[in-house]
Structure 1
């Protein structure tokens, strides 16, 4: 889990920002609006 989380936590602050969450969702085939 930690390795997958680190792939998307680009600034390595331990949280996923809204922008990073958008990247996660798009990588899963979703289209956030």
Structure 2
């Protein structure tokens, strides 16, 4: 039970990081300098 909860938290962290990364990538591609 404890391990499953840990994995869930880990996935949330990955998704959070991925969303942030994709947002940065979108900003760069949307507004080329």
Rg larger for: 2
Relative to the length of structure 1, the TM-score reads: 0.39
* Higher-RCO chain (CA-CA 8 Å, sequence separation at least 6): 1
Structure showing the higher helix proportion among its residues? 2
